[in-house]
Amino acid sequence: MNEQLQLLPGYLSAHLGLTLAAILVGVLVSVPLGVLVAGSKRLEPFVLGTASVIQTVPSLALLAFMVPALAALGMQSIGYLPALIGLCLYSVLPILRNTLVGLASIEPALLEAAQSVGMTPGEQLFRVELPLALPMIIAGIRTATVWTVGTATLSTPVGAPSLGNYIFSGLQTRNYAAVLVGCVAAALLALALDGLIRVVELGLRLRRRALWIGALCVFAALAAWPLARLAGAFAGGGARPVRIGAKNFTEQYILSRIMSGRIHERTGQPTELIESLGSTVVFDALRNGQIDVYVDYTGTLWANILERKDRPPNRAEVLEGTRSGLRERFGVELLAALGFENAYALAMNGQQAEELNVRKISDLIPYAPKLRLGSDYEFLSRPEWKALEARYGLRFQEQRSMDPALMYQALRSGGVDLISAFSTDGRIVPYHLRVLEDDRGAIPPYDAVILVNAVFAREQPAVLDALRSLAQSIDGERMRALNAEVDQSRHSPAEAAAGFLKGAGHR
């Protein structure tokens, strides 16, 4: 728990900064838009309908959509910008709708009285209509604020640090202390911001200046916190941190910290971890120079990035084909293979596999119509699954996608009969799972390899030398043991990485 609390200032300030910026933009856009639309009955259905449609898009999908959209425009597609745009869009509807309702609920007699004393339209708006609609507008801002605090936790997969880092990494590594800290901190932040807005509203309604000015001062102090941290980072000088990306599962959290530790050992350069990114998001971030290095797998790159349909007969050919393909098509350097393979595989409960006498995937064919398959979110839409279907003709009774951290528990509890496992997962042995042999060669090799942005590779030879020292340093058994340290023994990814580096010594 202490380790998690040490991370809290960074994640909380980032989350707070994102939320306040999104709400500020949402207010600046929605209130004037509401005033404009209130005066034009033709615009109201269109504007409200557009805002409603945006609100119906699943929040994670909206944030993820920002990544390729911004990349296509040549803008920063990873980090704060896509997260901020997505959160701003989400904050619009409640403020806009409440502004319209507030303005529409004003008694016509009051407006006639304002006109009868000679007020101009501007005076009528600022001295009568907006003050009367203010309680309703503030209610919309409060709703938007609570929604935004919750939605901002989903900024983590697009590379923006937030309290979601606790939740995503905690779920993958089964660190429920981290999940608890993330959830509690987000809930308390939502309550605190909602309470402050309520104080502003009370102060304005009761005409108690000290109340609303005091609450606004607290808001200003809260906004200054993330700004001060940002300014400190820019003013800190020194070498630019090496930005290390990681996908959203245990092995990636460990490997990113091993690379970070090795870089620091050999060069003294600072590093920055950008974690819990999706497969295509992290590759695009490397291509665009928004991260410098991360670990991927040759099978994923071969089938999904290079879109190769063929399968060479051995690992070496896939490795070299991937290296040359990435360099020629994307300008990405495959620096080194770490020494282990983490392939997609089908795994069953060992006892059930023994009863059915299933050892190879082809043994599954007669039983498949009665079995339920659990997989991660990606597997069933990847070329590897299509290859399995084509080679074996598998048709399961049910195919269910779920979080990778829950697949193993689902198999263990009998919720599914087999899963799309990862061959180096530390839970395979303690859960007594049987990994089925791919006897028809449908799945390509999955050597873990270090990928580096080409520009970074030219500019940072010392960092490359440090990373090359990790080549062939981790075999499959060692990686499974490191994963088990986190998934089974409840060590943190940082502790597992530190133990590896200490044991590896200076190669």
pLDDT digits (tens, 9 = 90+) for 155-176: 888 878 889 888 887 877 777 8
Residue 450 confidence (pLDDT) = 97
Q: At residue 463, does pLDDT exceed 80? A: yes
Q: Could you tell me which residues come within 8 angstroms of residue 307 by beta carbon, excluding any fewer than 6 positions away?
A: 383
Whether residue 376 contacts residue 407, with contact meaning beta carbons closer than 8 Å, is answered with yes
- For the segment 309-335, the average pLDDT, to the nearest whole number, is 87
Task: Say how many C-beta atoms besides its own lie within 10 A of residue 75's C-beta.
Answer: 13
Residue 507 confidence (pLDDT) = 46
Q: At residue 35, does pLDDT exceed 80? A: yes
Query: Over the stretch 406-452, which tens digit does the pLDDT of each residue have?
Result: 888 888 888 899 999 888 888 888 888 999 998 988 888 899 999 99
Ranges in the chain annotated CATH 1.10.3720.10: 1-235
DSSP 471: T
Residue 298 confidence (pLDDT) = 92
Q: At residue 237, does pLDDT exceed 70? A: no
| Rounded Cα gap, residues 94 and 139, in angstroms | 9
Q: Strands 242-247 and 271-277: what pairing?
A: parallel
Helix-helix angle 176-205:164-173, to 10 degrees: 160
Which amino acid is located at 230 in the chain?
A: L
Query: Over the stretch 42-63, which tens digit does the pLDDT of each residue have?
Result: 888 888 888 888 888 777 777 7
Helix-helix angle 250-267:493-504, to 10 degrees: 50
Q: At residue 400, does pLDDT exceed 50? A: yes
Question: Which whole-number Å values give the CA distances from 173 to 3, 277, 302, 417, 505, in the listed order?
Answer: 14, 15, 27, 23, 26
Residue 357 confidence (pLDDT) = 93
| Rounded Cα gap, residues 16 and 40, in angstroms | 36
| Rounded Cα gap, residues 346 and 340, in angstroms | 18
Which amino acid is located at 238 in the chain?
A: G
Ranges in the chain annotated CATH 3.40.190.120: 344-436
Cα 224–Cα 230–Cα 232 angle in degrees, nearest 5? 100
Considering only the top CATH level, what class is 242-341+446-504? alpha beta
Whether the pTM exceeds 0.95: the reply is no
Ranges in the chain annotated CATH 3.40.190.10: 242-341+446-504
* 344-436 topology per CATH: D-Maltodextrin-Binding Protein; domain 2 (3.40.190)
Q: At residue 505, does pLDDT exceed 60? A: no
Query: Over the stretch 96-112, which tens digit does the pLDDT of each residue have?
Result: 999 999 999 998 898 88
| Rounded Cα gap, residues 480 and 188, in angstroms | 38
Question: Which whole-number Å values give the CA distances from 157 to 100, 160, 257, 359, in the listed order?
Answer: 34, 7, 18, 36
Residue 506 confidence (pLDDT) = 45
Q: Give the whole-number percent of the chain exceeding pLDDT 90.
A: 42
Beta bridge partners of residue 422, listed in sequence order:
344
Q: At residue 67, does pLDDT exceed 80? A: no
Residue 184 confidence (pLDDT) = 93
Pick the CATH number of 1-235 from 3.30.930.10, 3.40.50.700, 3.50.50.60, 1.10.3720.10: 1.10.3720.10
Residue 498 confidence (pLDDT) = 94
Which amino acid is located at 127 in the chain?
A: R
- For the segment 221-238, the average pLDDT, to the nearest whole number, is 72
Rounded to the nearest integer, the mean pLDDT of the chain is 87
Least confident of 264-268, 297-301, 371-375, 488-492: 488-492
Whether residue 245 contacts residue 124, with contact meaning beta carbons closer than 8 Å, is answered with no
Q: At residue 74, does pLDDT exceed 50? A: yes
Q: At residue 83, does pLDDT exceed 70? A: yes
- For the segment 465-475, the average pLDDT, to the nearest whole number, is 94
- For the segment 55-77, the average pLDDT, to the nearest whole number, is 76
Which amino acid is located at 488 in the chain?
A: Q
With bands split at pLDDT 50, 70 and 90, how would you rate the model's confidence at 232?
A: low
Whether residue 158 contacts residue 78, with contact meaning beta carbons closer than 8 Å, is answered with yes
Residue 199 confidence (pLDDT) = 92
| Rounded Cα gap, residues 151 and 19, in angstroms | 9
Hey, what are 326's tokens? 């990435």
Q: Could you tell me which residues come within 8 angstroms of residue 421 by beta carbon, excluding any fewer than 6 positions away?
A: 344, 345, 346, 347, 407, 408, 428, 433, 435
DSSP 302: I
- For the segment 135-161, the average pLDDT, to the nearest whole number, is 90
